[in-house]
Amino acid sequence: MYETLLMIPGPTRVAPRVLKAMSKSMINHRSAAFGEILKETNDMMSKVFRTENESYLLTGSGTAAMEAAVGNITQKGDKVLNILGGKFGERFMQITETHKGSPVELEVEWGHAVNPNYIKDILEKDEDIKAVTVVHNETSTGVANPIAEIGKIVKDYDALYIVDTVSSLGGDDVFVDGYNIDICVTGSQKCLAAPPGMAAITLSDDAWNVVDKTENDTYYLNMRKYKKSGDKNPPETPYTPSVSLMYAMREALNIIMEEGLDSRILRHKQAAKATRAGVKALGLELFAEPDAASNTVTAIKMPEGVTDKDLRGTMRNKYHIELAGGQDHLKGNVFRIGHMGNITQRDIITTISALEMTLKELGFDLEMGKGVEAVENVYLS
């Protein structure tokens, strides 16, 4: 009877018209008809990335695109500055190591954003750094890193600027060209609200120059092959793409074009603000520093005396709302509310209300109604 409300940082709820588009019959992926769909989808992706460059769709998760970004520009011994501070920052470092690069690690305390000046210091001291990797929105901690400011710094150095916008693109400000981003990657199942299984990547001319000179150890994720196939008219993919997911991506991007990217991002900002206000009004503490709070996911410290199982279990089983737990060393110590994709005021109000009731049941001393009141005040302001 109840459909579970997904308040997790992906996969997010997919609109019925996207599910319907996805369920169309197969067509030949080497046909002109599919080429047109691919072209439309690529072009809309570039609009969402806010870049003049081409975008490429990969059949795979966001991690596949992260690996494509680093694997195509890294060869043995290449120094890559990896900004840590969360699970996905660390993933970039692991990928750098996998591709025999030499990570230069900038540790950031989980819950904090990186200070761009530290990046400047490192680039100033070490001119061999070939690329800088930043995760825009650390899904694991609910932190947004200042990618505009970092872009202003990196552009003065001979290093590529690689940004993971897997859980921010379409829900927070990302101007690939405006921020001087050389390689930007994202995933289908977060703010774009398509099903999981597709990832997108865009590369600047500078990035392509490096790709062309790099001894590449990727095959499925080899971007030169994607470019060669993508440059055909109509474009193709080097390997069989998921035709169904491409239908879905096109329709999800159509929805974004109809809503307007600015309106969509504003909607995410309001949802984030409302979520934080609601959570704080319930007496809970946010995990991320206030000035680093994400627009798309909020990490909340697990209140004293409450277990993850109790809190998320009650939310799931009694209120049919799925929240996310903590990852790695935050497991059990935080829980997370995703507010990305096709998220509405109703979803935030329902979630905060259910959280209020859950906490009350778990023996928390709180004044009922305060959480929802705080959410309403954000939406009315």
Residues 62 and 310: their CA atoms lie apart, in Å, by 31
- Scan residues 12-41 and list those touching its own copies (CB under 8 A): 12-14, 19-20, 22-31
User: How many residues belong to the site for its own copies (CB under 8 A)?
Assistant: 58
Least distance to its own copies from the beta carbon of 276, Å? 22
Is 98 near its own copies (CB under 8 A)?
yes
CB of 72 to its own copies, least distance (A): 12
Q: Are strands 183-187 and 160-164 parallel, antiparallel or unpaired?
A: parallel
Could you say whether residue 150 binds its own copies (CB under 8 A)?
A: no
Binding of its own copies by 365 (CB under 8 A): no
243 part of the interface to its own copies, by CB under 8 A: yes
Q: Which residue's CB is nearer to its own copies, number 62 or number 151?
A: 62
Residues from 215 through 234 that contact its own copies (CB under 8 A):
216-222
Backbone angles phi, psi at 104, to 5 degrees: -105, 115
Interface pick for its own copies out of 100, 228, 232, 331 (rule CB under 8 A): 100
Q: Which is nearer to its own copies, 5 or 143 (CB)?
A: 5
Among 209, 244, 254, 345, binds its own copies (CB under 8 A): 244
Q: Considering the complex, state which of residue 60 and residue 111 has its C-beta at the smaller distance from its own copies.
A: 60
Q: Which of 196, 234, 283, 303 binds its own copies (CB under 8 A)?
A: 196
Q: Do residues 56 and 65 make contact, with C-beta atoms less than 8 angstroms apart? A: no
Phi, psi of 275 (to 5 degrees): -65, -45
Q: 43 to 62, contacts with its own copies by CB under 8 A?
A: 59-62
272-311 footprint of its own copies as x/- string (CB under 8 A): ----------------------------------------
SS3 of the chain: the string is CCCCEECCCCCCCCCHHHHHHHCCCCCCCCCHHHHHHHHHHHHHHHHHHCCCCCEEEEECCHHHHHHHHHHCCCCCCCEEEEECCCHHHHHHHHHHHHCCCEEEEECCCCCCCCCHHHHHHHHHHCCCEEEEEEECEECCCCEECCHHHHHHHHCCCCCEEEEECCCCECCECCCCCCCCCCEEEEECCCCCCCCCCEEEEEECHHHHHHHHHCCCCCCCCCHHHHHHHHCCCCCCCCCCCCHHHHHHHHHHHHHHHHHCHHHHHHHHHHHHHHHHHHHHHCCCCECCCHHHECCCEEEEECCCCCCHHHHHHHHHHCCCEECEECCHHHECCEEEEECCCCCCHHHHHHHHHHHHHHHHHCCCCCCCCHHHHHHHHHHHC
- Least distance between its own copies and beta carbon 69 (Å): 11
- Tell me how far, at minimum, the Cβ of 369 lies from its own copies, in Å: 29
Q: Is there binding between residue 200 and its own copies (CB under 8 A)?
A: no
Q: Which is nearer to its own copies, 218 or 345 (CB)?
A: 218
Q: Choose between 26 and 380: whose C-beta lies nearer to its own copies.
A: 26
Q: For its own copies, which stretch binds (CB under 8 A), given 168-176, 239-247, 283-291, 354-362?
A: 239-247
Q: Determine which residue in the list 241, 278, 326, 371 makes contact with its own copies, applying CB under 8 A.
A: 241
Footprint of its own copies on this chain (CB under 8 A)?
3-4, 6, 8, 10-14, 19-20, 22-31, 59-64, 67, 71, 94-95, 98-100, 187, 189, 195-198, 216-222, 239-245, 248, 322, 324-325
